[in-house]
């Protein structure tokens, strides 16, 4: 019974967590997005290309 309850809770919470994650990403500042992308291993040039900003802007955000 406990397993079924946990499975139902998981199936209800997973879509909610995905919605929260998407909203968080869409409303994140450029500085935060830059730090997240940098932590995944992307180069400054790749981050700049992905976010359509200058490499100088990426460098400045990572330095702060």
Domain that holds residue 7: 2-63
Distance between CA 47 and CA 26 in Å, rounded? 16
Q: Which residue has the higher pLDDT, 61 or 21?
A: 61
Q: What is the pLDDT of residue 12?
A: 86
Instruction: Quote the distance between the C-alpha of residue 9 and its chain's center.
Output: 24
Please report the pLDDT score of residue 30 as a whole number: 87
Do 25 and 15 contact (CB within 8 A), yes or no? no
- CB-based contact 47:38 (threshold 8 Å): yes
Query: 35-64: per-residue pLDDT in tens?
Result: 999 999 999 999 999 999 999 999 999 998
- pTM (two decimals): 0.64
**What's the pLDDT score for residue 21?**
86
Q: Tokens 């291993």 sit at which residue?
A: 41
Q: How many domains does the chain have?
A: 1
Q: Where are the alpha helices (DSSP H) in the chain?
A: 2-27, 30-39, 44-51, 55-63
């Amino acid at each position: 019974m406990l397993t079924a309850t946990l499975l139902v809770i998981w199936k209800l919470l997973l879509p909610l967590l995905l919605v929260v994650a998407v909203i968080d990403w869409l409303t994140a500042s450029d500085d935060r997005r830059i730090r997240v992308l940098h932590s995944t291993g992307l180069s400054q040039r790749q981050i700049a290309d992905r976010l359509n900003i200058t490499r100088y802007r990426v460098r400045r955000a990572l330095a702060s």
